[in-house]
Amino acid sequence: MNKAYLKSFIMAASAIIIAFSIIIYPKETYMASVTGLKMWWDVVFPSLMPFFILSEVLMGFGVVHLIGVLFEPLMRPLFRVPGSGGFVWAMGISSGFPAGAKLTARLWHQKQISTVEAERLVSFTNCSNPLFMFSAIAVGFFHNAAIGIVLAASHYLGNFLVGLIMRYHGWKKDERTQTEYRGKGIKNAFKHMHEARLADNRPIGQLLGDAVQQSTKTLLMIGGFIILFSVLSRMMDLLHVAELLSKLISYIFILFSLSETLSLPLIKGIFEITLGSNLTSLAQSSVLQQAAITSFILAFSGFSVQAQVASILADTDIKFKPFFIARIIHGFLSAFICVLVFPYLYHAKSGAAPAFSFITEKSEDLGKIGMAALAHSHYVTLGFLLLSIFLWHRNIMKKNSLRF
């Protein structure tokens, strides 16, 4: 039996088992569907809808071309993607999963990036929303704002390193597939924005209508995947599949001196990040181990988010495999970084010595400030990126003035 037949057999058998499970457990299936629907309607829909509409409007007005020219000196040397990737990166960080994949696909359809560049871009622009990490996980699950700083630092630093690693993806094809360099300078950037707006030429009413339709369509797809994986997660519990997998993982955890109680939360998190993160916070283990496992879960994104990304990329030539590999790399990098930065960024109030009480107070204040700032993360992210571009251009101007 070759691999193709084996794959077909496994997929068909899995579908049949899931179908019979849904028939056998109709009440549990219904409750799991309601849970997924509630999560989508209460959290995902209101948080992503404004960002999706705004991104579509910004693309229609040509703002992406403006940002593309300004960010070219930063994004091209670091990540080997066009400057328009800076817009995707900022929106991806601000709105969370799967905005980075959606915007990357839109840029690919508009021929602003090549296929190889899109595969690099989607690998590090699809990340967790900082507000989700601070509000839902740090405060809601762990009841400690300070741990949000640890998670955010490990997540975004790991994400940045993934971008640097994935810049070497497709390097043999780079010369043939690299998009055209559009120059630099603010005047040139506004010129490209104006030309893009004229090329679009849609009235504001039509532009808003199209933005709402496209955003709603994408969010309905996301909602379907959330409900599906909510049901699958429940079926794994009823069929004791999650318990079996967690026992296998527990042997690996013992080798690395990790708590066995974290094996089940990890399995759950591999499928769905919210449930996995919640179970991790309830596990009987040290806070450091809980933070490391949560960092891995957030970086890996879960099969639920990955299925959403695969669906978004399905109507393009962008391959899903590089994105999946990047998620594995990001998971291990984030967990490793979490272990490194934890002693410096996290201080438990009850366990702090009197001599270090001022560090604890500063850590708590920093957590509160971080939550307030990241509540407006889109402004913070865009502000830092614009500051980076300003400093980059200033450095180039100084070098040019020294030459002449």
246 in a domain, yes or no?
Answer: yes
pLDDT at 382: 54
Of 21-25, 92-96, 223-227, 240-244, least confident by mean pLDDT is 92-96
- Name the pLDDT band for 239 (thresholds 50, 70, 90): confident
17 in a domain, yes or no?
Answer: no
- Name the pLDDT band for 325 (thresholds 50, 70, 90): very high
pLDDT at 394: 59
88 neighbors 51 (Cβ within 8 angstroms): no
pLDDT at 176: 47
Of 50-54, 184-188, 266-270, 325-329, least confident by mean pLDDT is 184-188
Kindly provide the residue ranges of all beta strands, DSSP E only, lying in 345-396, ordered along the sequence: none
343 neighbors 130 (Cβ within 8 angstroms): no
- Cα–Cα distance measured from residue 315 to residue 312, given in angstroms and rounded to the nearest whole number: 7
94 neighbors 86 (Cβ within 8 angstroms): no
64 in a domain, yes or no?
Answer: yes
Q: Residues 170-213: pLDDT tens digits?
A: 876 655 455 555 556 677 777 777 777 777 778 888 888 888 88
Show the CA angle centred on residue 111, arms to residues 106 and 117, nearest 5°.
80
pLDDT at 300: 93
11 in a domain, yes or no?
Answer: no
Both tokens assigned to 66: 């403006």
Task: Please give the residue that has the higher pLDDT: either 13 or 381.
Answer: 13
In this structure, what are the phi and psi dihedrals at residue 62, rounded to the nearest 5 degrees?
85, 10
**Per-state percent for the chain, helix, strand, coil, to nearest 5:** 80, 0, 20
pLDDT at 354: 37
- Name the pLDDT band for 256 (thresholds 50, 70, 90): confident
Q: Residues 106-151: pLDDT tens digits?
A: 889 888 888 999 999 999 988 888 778 887 888 888 888 889 899 9
Task: Please give the residue that has the higher pLDDT: either 165 or 274.
Answer: 165
Among residues of the chain, what percentage have pLDDT more than 70? 82
Task: Please give the residue that has the higher pLDDT: either 323 or 69.
Answer: 323
Q: What is the end-to-end Cα distance of the chain in Å, rounded?
A: 71
Number of domains in the chain: 1
* Of 155, 126, 132, 96, the residue nearest 338 (C-alpha): 155
Task: Please give the residue that has the higher pLDDT: either 373 or 216.
Answer: 216
20 in a domain, yes or no?
Answer: no
Decide if pLDDT at 336 tops 70: yes
203 in a domain, yes or no?
Answer: yes
User: Helix (H, G, I), strand (E, B), or coil: what is residue 112?
Assistant: coil
Both tokens assigned to 5: 């037949």
Decide if pLDDT at 16 tops 60: yes
* Of 64, 100, 109, the residue nearest 82 (C-alpha): 64
Task: Please give the residue that has the higher pLDDT: either 393 or 39.
Answer: 39
Q: Residues 369-394: pLDDT tens digits?
A: 555 554 554 555 555 555 555 555 55
Torsion of CA 180, 184, 187, 191, to 10 degrees: 10
84 in a domain, yes or no?
Answer: yes
379 neighbors 183 (Cβ within 8 angstroms): no
Query: Residue written as tokens 């601070």?
Result: 134
- Cα–Cα distance measured from residue 240 to residue 230, given in angstroms and rounded to the nearest whole number: 15
Among residues of the chain, what percentage have pLDDT more than 90? 20
pLDDT at 337: 94
- What range does the domain containing 155 cover? 36-168+185-403
Q: Considering the chain, what is the average pLDDT of its residues?
A: 80
Neighbours of 272 (CB within 10 A): 23
- Cα–Cα distance measured from residue 152 to residue 134, given in angstroms and rounded to the nearest whole number: 8
pLDDT at 352: 36
pLDDT at 400: 54
Contacts of 107 (CB under 8 A, 6+ apart): 64, 84, 85, 88, 113, 118, 121
178 in a domain, yes or no?
Answer: no
Task: Please give the residue that has the higher pLDDT: either 89 or 389.
Answer: 89
Number of H helices, E strands in the chain: 20, 0
251 neighbors 282 (Cβ within 8 angstroms): no
